[in-house]
Amino acid sequence: MKPLKITLKTPIEEIQGLGSAVRIYIKRDDLNGLLISGNKARKLEYLVADAKSKECDTLITCGGAQSNHCRITAAFAQRFGFECHLFLRVHGKPPKISTANLLIDKLFGAKVNYITPTQYKHRDTIMEAYAKKLQKKGKKPYLIPEGGSNEIGILGYRDCMKEMKTFIKREKIEAVYCAVGSGGTYAGLLLGKKLYNLKVDLNGVLVCDTIEFFTEKILRICRKSIDTFNMKITVSEGDINFIDGYIGAGYAIPYPAELKTIIRVAKLGIILEPVYTGKSFYGMLNHVKKKKYKKVIFIHTGGIFSIFAFAKELTPVITTIKG
């Protein structure tokens, strides 16, 4: 399957100055575009290509109110002439003022439907019923699951592993780390690891849900992708390494050690955010010490705009950190 290629190939840079005994490289997927940027862009290049090939005219997807995935879907829709309809989960009343990713969704003309956390549990059924209504009005909707994490979207991260494979072999990288939010990034990297026969540990830091939940989900999506695209590989539970213990009080709820990590890393020129990359980078820093690796890669999956939704949490911590 051929993706729409609009993102840039991303560099791998070493981050120095963290005082870590391990050499940490960052795959800068945050730099693959700006509004169309981060891990979701790689997935949407495949999903939107599929939508175009099926002659659809409307993209429907879902996420949290500050979803990066929804913002990037809105940007793709604008760029490729689709309507975009979003189902955004909000706790309590919908926000009166749109900020950060939500503001961008609206600037790109996405139609926003707010749903409660309970409704969000039934998001696929809700989106399917909505798509049927649009069909009756003559539209051709294309449904994208949460995070773009299905057998098609994950091909974007198979490609990311392909981009990294020479570097991994040449530099003898021992582990690749990423955040696990809807599981697609990890699933695609796992396909790539298997297809290119790479001897690296693939370590996913959970930012929500449980090890059991993601093990089942990732194996299911990988196997569907393997069948659909006729790949000559298999995946099993033994291929999966998850790191738990860095979610804190819950999804998108930051905690002090994480915020301090974000600020330390920002002083070295790289912006992480509190929902995914902050928690996973912090988790990685602790995990590499236990594993005694010498060289690892962290996938920077983007999400820069979401920091603007966390000014209240970040500002007081910035003032406490010297230097």
Ligand X SMILES: Cc1ncc(COP(=O)(O)O)c(C=O)c1O
Residues identified as active-site: 67
Q: Which is nearer to ligand X, 141 or 145 (CB)?
A: 145
**Are 36 and 77 spatial neighbours (Cβ–Cβ below 8 Å)?**
no
State the minimum distance, in angstroms, from the CB of residue 319 to ligand X. Answer: 26
| Binding-site member from 3, 145, 184, 254 for ligand X (CB under 6 A) | 184
CA distance 59 to 75: 11
Which residues within the stretch 293-322 sit at the binding site for ligand X (CB under 6 A)? Answer: 301-303
Asked if 69 interacts with ligand X (CB under 6 A), we say yes
Asked if 147 interacts with ligand X (CB under 6 A), we say yes
Return the amino acid letter for 147.
G
CA distance 55 to 70: 21
Residues 6+ away with beta carbon under 8 Å from 230: none
DSSP3 helix / strand / coil % (the chain, rounded to 5) = 45, 15, 35
Question: 187 φ, ψ to 5°?
Answer: -60, -45
Give the binding-site size for ligand X (rule: CB under 6 A).
Answer: 19
Which residues within the stretch 4-43 sit at the binding site for ligand X (CB under 6 A)? Answer: 38-39
Selection from 188, 185, 194 nearest residue 225 by Cα: 188
| Binding-site member from 82, 276, 282, 298 for ligand X (CB under 6 A) | 276
Q: Which is nearer to ligand X, 35 or 134 (CB)?
A: 35
Asked if 181 interacts with ligand X (CB under 6 A), we say yes
Asked if 160 interacts with ligand X (CB under 6 A), we say no
Stretch of 8-16, 163-171, 174-182, 287-295 lying at the interface with ligand X (CB under 6 A): 174-182
Asked if 61 interacts with ligand X (CB under 6 A), we say no
E strand intervals along the chain: 12-15, 23-28, 58-64, 83-89, 111-115, 141-143, 175-180, 201-206, 241-243, 295-300
The binding site for ligand X (CB under 6 A) comprises 38-39, 68-69, 147, 149, 179-186, 276-277, 301-303
